[in-house]
């Protein structure tokens, strides 16, 4: 049974809609160095840091995608022949 101050990696992955491996790969950066699996638990404070990192990355990707789309639209307008 997990402690109240612990979060299972697979539950966090499901919540964030990412693979557990993506979370496991981030853990050493937060001081969790022992081998972890998807069914392992991590401290709640580390889980919160992972949430912020992954959600921040998703927001950055969405902004970059929107900027690229706007740039494609701008270029398309510039290529149109004027009558």
What's the pTM value of the predicted model, to 2 decimals?
Answer: 0.67
Which has more confidence, 42 or 77?
42
Indicate the fold that domain 6-79 takes in CATH: Arc Repressor Mutant, subunit A (1.10.10)
Domain positions in the chain: 6-79
Confidence of residue 76 (pLDDT cuts 50, 70, 90): confident
pLDDT at 78 over 70: yes
Q: For position 42, what pLDDT does the model report?
A: 94
Q: What is the mean pLDDT of residues 29-47?
A: 89
DSSP result, 18-83: S-HHHHHHHGGGGT--S---TT-EEEHHHHHHHHHHHHHHHHHHHHHHHHHHHHHHHHHHHHSPP-
pLDDT at 81 over 80: no
């Amino acid at each position: 049974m997990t402690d109240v101050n612990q979060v299972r990696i697979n539950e966090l992955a499901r919540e964030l809609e990412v693979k557990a491996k993506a979370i496991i790969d981030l853990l050493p950066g937060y001081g969790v160095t022992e081998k972890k699996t998807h069914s392992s638990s991590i401290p709640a404070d580390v889980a919160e840091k992972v949430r912020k990192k992954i959600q921040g990355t998703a927001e950055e990707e969405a902004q970059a995608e929107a900027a690229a789309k706007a740039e494609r639209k701008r270029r398309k307008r510039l290529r149109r022949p004027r009558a």
